[in-house]
Amino acid sequence: MPRAYRKPSDLPAVISVFPLGGAILFPRAVLPLNIFEPRYLNMIDDALAGDRLIGMIQPAGLLPAPLQTDGDNPELAEVGCVGRLTSFQETDDGRYLVGLSGVTRFRIIEETTRQTPYRTVRADWTAFADDLLPDEESTVHDRTELVTALNDYLERNGLNADWSAIKDAPVDMLINSLSTGCPFTNPEKQALLEARTLHDRCSALIALLVMERPGQGGGYVQ
């Protein structure tokens, strides 16, 4: 991720947002998206022509995943994560396949008066200024506990995993990939997103792996 954003003041006051239940973006993680609704195609066009930033945020509450319909205007969760468009492909049928690289989380101050077909918000970056600091992997000491909890979770539910990839993955990538990909409920995924530090997210993830079974919740797996 380019180090273009070193402090909250480097980021814009207003950003476009993409409400998508169950799809969580974390700082320094990459989220692939398949864009097909006209308003969000418009959003991607505008982002590519501008600062290339888009905020991913969940609708508040237990709404169905994965995508709100054109007529919906759901209340938004308070916290999301802004990502920078770092890959883009247009398909023959007019869809956009994009990759968002997570920059930092934000808290919504207010939704702005809509001048576009998509929604925009005024963002407060200050509470998550540490997201812009160098990787905090060295502060996470419970990788062994996480791997043990994951192994028990997979065995308990008859699932398999690529253990060579898990063994070689940086701990932050492992934590964020599991937080995104495991079938937790949307509120549980939101809690993982809002965890103050990577260490806190790891502890919360371990607790969920110990208690969860696939299909219990409404999380949308990309």
- The mean pLDDT of 123-146, rounded to a whole number, is 80
Residue 149 lies in a domain: yes
Check if the beta carbon of residue 209 is closer than 8 Å to that of residue 150.
Answer: yes
Same domain, 146 and 80: no
Q: Do residue 127 and residue 142 come from a single domain?
A: no
Same domain, 66 and 104: yes
Answer yes or no: is 98 within a domain. yes
Work out the average pLDDT over 22-35. 93
Residue where one domain finishes, among candidates 112, 132, 152? 132
Residue 160: CB partners within 8 Å, gap ≥ 6? 154
Do residue 144 and residue 43 come from a single domain?
Answer: no
Asked whether residue 107 falls in the same domain as residue 200, the answer is: no
103 in the same domain as 46: yes
- Do 12 and 91 share a structural domain? yes
State the pLDDT confidence band at 165, using cuts at 50, 70 and 90.
Answer: confident
Domain stops at, among 110, 132, 154: 132
Residues whose CB is less than 8 angstroms from the CB of residue 30 and which lie 6 or more positions away in sequence, other chains included: 86, 99, 100, 101, 102
- Specify the pLDDT at position 71: 46
What 3 state SS string does 24-59 have? CCCCCCEEEEEECCHHHHHHHHHHHHCCCEEEEECE
Q: Within this chain, do residues 14 and 119 fall inside the same structural domain, yes or no?
A: yes
Residue 197 placed within a domain = yes
* 216 inside domain: no
pLDDT tens-place string over residues 168-207: 888 888 999 999 988 889 999 999 999 998 889 999 999 9
pTM value is 0.84
**pLDDT of 151 higher than 60:** yes
Q: Indicate if 24 and 121 belong to the same structural domain.
A: yes
**198 and 141 within one domain:** yes
Q: Is the domain of 21 the same as that of 88?
A: yes
pLDDT in tens, 51-91: 999 999 999 864 444 444 344 678 999 999 999 999 999 99
Q: How confident is the model at residue 140 (pLDDT cuts 50, 70, 90)?
A: low
Q: Which domain holds residue 206?
A: 137-211
- For residue 218, being part of any structural domain is answered with no
Q: Is residue 3 part of a domain?
A: no
pLDDT of residue 142: 74
Looking at the 3D structure of the chain, how many domains does it have?
Answer: 2
Q: How far, in Å, CA of 14 to CA of 179, rounded?
A: 27
Provide the pLDDT for residue 115: 86
Helices (H), the chain: 38-49, 143-156, 163-168, 171-181, 186-194, 198-211
Asked if residue 2 has pLDDT above 60, the reply is: no
For residues 117 and 141, membership in a common domain is answered with no
- Whether residue 217 is contained in a domain is answered as no
Joined together, the tokens standing for residue 205 give 């993830």
Instruction: Give mean pLDDT, residues 207-219.
Output: 64
- Residue 60's closest CA among 80, 36, 45? 80
Domain end, chosen from 132, 150, 168, is at 132
The backbone region for 128, taken as left when phi is positive above 0, alpha when psi lies in -120 to 50, beta otherwise, is alpha
* Cβ(150)–Cβ(179) below 8 Å: no
Give the tens place of pLDDT for each residue, 36-48.
Answer: 999 999 999 999 9
